[in-house]
């Protein structure tokens, strides 16, 4: 059991805290997905600039080469860093969901019988 959960006595509070944590981590994961898209766009833009200069569609000069290299390499670095962060967030989400499932499994839940007659 996670030491963070042993401090709290009420399993309902522990579950609520875990659900809040899972929600916050899910928002961070969504933010990582947006950054990943931006990194891929930067890589593509840098490569397209290189290809355009290679085929003579754009005049080759130092500034354009520098911009293409910055986009391509910067996108690769951002993508790699963001990917690691996204994997760490996914692991934290999985751990929090596992802890939440353990807490729910330890609770003594009472089954509520289905109503015999529906009152509409």
DSSP-derived secondary structure letter, 103: H
- The pLDDT value given to residue 49: 96
Q: Where are the domains of the chain?
A: 10-105
**Angle CA 11–25–74, to nearest 5:** 160
Asked whether the predicted pLDDT for residue 2 surpasses 70, the reply is no
0.95 cut: is pTM over it? no
Q: What is the pLDDT of residue 6?
A: 56
Q: Which two tokens stand for residue 42?
A: 């930067």
- Predicted confidence (pLDDT) per residue in 53-90, tens digit: 999 999 999 999 999 999 999 999 999 999 999 999 99
For residue 61, give both structure tokens.
């000069």
CA distances from 64 to 55, 100, 107 (A): 14, 52, 63
Residue pLDDT, tens place only, 14-38: 999 999 999 999 999 999 999 999 9
DSSP state of 68: H
Question: Residue 8 has what pLDDT?
Answer: 56
Angstrom distance (rounded) from CA 89 to CA 67: 32
């Amino acid at each position: 059991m996670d030491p963070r959960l042993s401090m709290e006595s009420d399993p309902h509070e522990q579950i609520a805290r875990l659900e809040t944590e899972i929600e916050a981590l899910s928002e961070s994961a969504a933010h990582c997905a947006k950054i990943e898209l931006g990194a891929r766009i930067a890589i593509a833009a840098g490569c397209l600039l290189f290809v355009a200069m290679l085929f003579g569609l754009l005049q080759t000069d130092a500034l354009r080469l520098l911009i293409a290299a910055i986009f391509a390499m910067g996108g690769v670095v951002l993508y790699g860093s963001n990917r690691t962060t996204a994997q760490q967030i996914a692991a934290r989400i999985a751990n929090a969901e596992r802890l939440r499932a353990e807490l729910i499994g330890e609770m003594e839940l009472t089954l509520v019988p289905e109503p015999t007659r529906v009152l509409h």
